[in-house]
Amino acid sequence: MTKKRILICTVVALSSGFFGGLTGGQIISMLHNQKCQNQTWGLKMMCNAWVTPGAIWQGSIAGIWTGTILGAFVSGSITRKIY
């Protein structure tokens, strides 16, 4: 049972970290791109191109950490042995 529990917790933690990274990158990218909204069209495109990579990196790292930790906690809580 212990090896199955470790496998389940690992898979859930990694998959929730992956989805957390995707979600975090998208959310932070949208928030950072709002800073560029009151520019003219050309400056808006340049601003978006400048801001997006850093925002995606920042959001993805935060999402991966948060998703992995929460996924491990939840899967550990669900699969724990009740005495």
Please report whether residue 4 resides in a domain.
no
Reading the block at residue 21, the tokens are 């990274």
Q: How confident is the model at residue 3 (pLDDT cuts 50, 70, 90)?
A: confident
Task: Quote the pLDDT of residue 2.
Answer: 79
Residues 6+ apart with CB under 8 A from 45: none
The per-residue pLDDT for range 19-69, each reduced to its tens digit, is 999 999 999 999 998 988 898 989 999 999 999 999 999 999 999 999 999
Percent of the chain clearing pLDDT 70 (strictly above): 96
Which of 61, 56, 76 lies closest to 10, judged by CA? 76
pLDDT > 60? residue 83: no
User: Which domain, by its residues, includes 55?
Assistant: 9-79
Please report whether residue 2 resides in a domain.
no
Domain count, the chain: 1
Bigger pLDDT: 57 or 82?
A: 57
